Structure 1
């Protein structure tokens, strides 16, 4: 069954104008492009969406614009994670008002709270709105893990419904999936098929910014029973996954470099991020062309 939040979700970049302002027209065009090419969900203001450097007002404006562009053709998950519980709850309420279908919430970062405090943080945010929560487990960025035992307890809350998994702990993911009804989404592109094969609901993909149809095709093949074909399609995308997410540059930077080359809305990144240099951009284009043909 297709999960309520979708199956092929894109961790969408946030387009900016050349002067660095929020590009709402560009965001609408990019969102429409991604949905038309296979994404049934969009995650806004996440890691790839440069959430640390966009204002609260920009987050709401972006969400409203994308909602207008895609209507009901795709779900919209709004990133609201901050290191402050009260601020996170405030962003959650604003996202609900702006039209989000669900909320993406990280563990509170920098302060590195213990697990009982992490659990309390999520429960407080879950009580702030009527929207479902996607818990975002990405300890490499937050500095704190959402431990499996914490996830097992949080799964009892009726609005905590899903996990975006960037833990790189495949055993823990399967443990939680086997003991709860939480919908798991692979947050690392290299794990999309592997996690899906053991029962995940889908993926939240950075690479889908530039090849949404290829990301979806892997899951389509698996659903059709063509597991060998799904594996072959996944392996074909590995060089692009590596180039975009594992070659020393953040996925935001690499996605924007390729989108610019494709003539799609992207714009610059905001400091402290810096754009891809010429050598890196040329390398990304070469890998993309190898997969799809000339830009």
Structure 2
């Protein structure tokens, strides 16, 4: 069962625009040093759609090697690059809106062919396809579907229902950073959280022992980190703290404004 805090790593770039491999390795080791249960390579935060095939392979290779050195888990957002991974993060098909029957058939098809268990990424405000607790519960009964990254933008009735009666061994990980505290209170087993690039140990502590006051503080920090499109503010803060060589992102994203980065840094301090 997947539990704890997983960090969906950014992809740092150097001054030439290339992937900064050493910075990625150092960042991966840093979050694991602070107690993260695992890494997520090629999640949305890593800007995978802007990476070449070779860059995607290099990112996964680095994350796999670091995770292995810590005996940590690795979730990969690419079904073709799962060698050595714990699980694969797969989204509901975007734009198609195949309906719930189509979603079930799609994931059962992927699960039957995958070499590692799947984690469904449920994010309807991006995919256009909402799923009920009943659908997720049915999918969770499949032996090759390990859990869901639940990111509906709310603590909704389906979350309450699913967490009240999840399938055996099925992990519900929150993907909405602001809602980690209430989702943990309802029974979520952890989270896949971009905000956990920063104050990783506090997020780990929160997942291990729910603390309402700490949850409020972390939610306030997360709000500042998502003031502009993810991962622009996070990269700006990591760069300001000397953890990555540049704050650069690739189009269609543009770097965060100095005001947003400064606000986040003030709250962190």
Shared fold by TM > 0.5?
yes
Alignment of 1:245-256 (within 5 A): 245=226, 247=227, 249-256=228-235
Higher mean C-alpha deviation, range 258-267 or range 134-143: 258-267
Q: Which residue of 2 aligns with 1:23?
A: 20
Does 2:236 align with 1:257? yes
| TM-score, normalised via structure 2 length | 0.92
Q: Structure 2 regions of 5+ residues with no counterpart? A: none
C-alpha deviation, 1:233, in angstroms: 0.9
Q: How far apart, in 2, do the equivalents of 1:134 and 1:266 lie?
A: 31
C-alpha deviation, 1:169, in angstroms: 4.4
Q: Structure 1 regions of 5+ residues with no counterpart? A: 81-91, 223-229, 290-295
Q: How far apart, in 1, do the equivalents of 2:132 and 2:126 lie?
A: 15
Alpha-carbon contact 2:155-2:183 (below 8 Å) kept: no
Residues 266 and 215 of structure 1: CA distance in aligned 2, closer, same or farther (over 3 Å) = farther
SS at match of 2:81: helix
SS at match of 1:19: coil
Does 2:176 align with 1:188? yes
**Aligned partner of 2:194 among 201, 206, 231:** 206
Alpha-carbon contact 1:8-1:216 (below 8 Å) kept: yes
Q: How far apart, in 2, do the equivalents of 1:271 and 1:231 lie?
A: 38
SS at match of 2:7: strand
Alpha-carbon contact 1:31-1:66 (below 8 Å) kept: yes
**Aligned partner of 1:67 among 64, 68, 92:** 64
Aligned residues: 264
Q: Which residue of 1 aligns with 2:215?
A: 234
Residues 165 and 9 of structure 1: CA distance in aligned 2, closer, same or farther (over 3 Å) = same
Backbone CA RMSD of aligned residues: 1.7
Q: Which residue of 2 aligns with 1:77?
A: 75
1:125-167: CA deviations, max 9, x gaps?
Answer: 1122221111010011112123323212212210111010001
C-alpha deviation, 1:214, in angstroms: 1.5
Q: How far apart, in 1, do the equivalents of 2:262 and 2:252 lie?
A: 22
SS at match of 1:276: coil
| TM-score, normalised via structure 1 length | 0.84
Q: How far apart, in 2, do the equivalents of 1:120 and 1:170 lie?
A: 25
Residues 174 and 234 of structure 1: CA distance in aligned 2, closer, same or farther (over 3 Å) = same
Q: How far apart, in 2, do the equivalents of 1:30 and 1:51 lie?
A: 17
Alpha-carbon contact 1:12-1:209 (below 8 Å) kept: yes
Q: How far apart, in 2, do the equivalents of 1:179 and 1:236 lie?
A: 29
SS at match of 1:105: strand
Does 2:254 align with 1:274? yes
**Aligned partner of 2:29 among 24, 28, 32:** 32
Q: Which protein, 1 or 2, shows the higher relative CO under an 8 Å CA cutoff with sep ≥ 6? A: 2
C-alpha deviation, 1:179, in angstroms: 4.3
Q: Which residue of 1 aligns with 2:162?
A: 176
SS at match of 2:98: coil
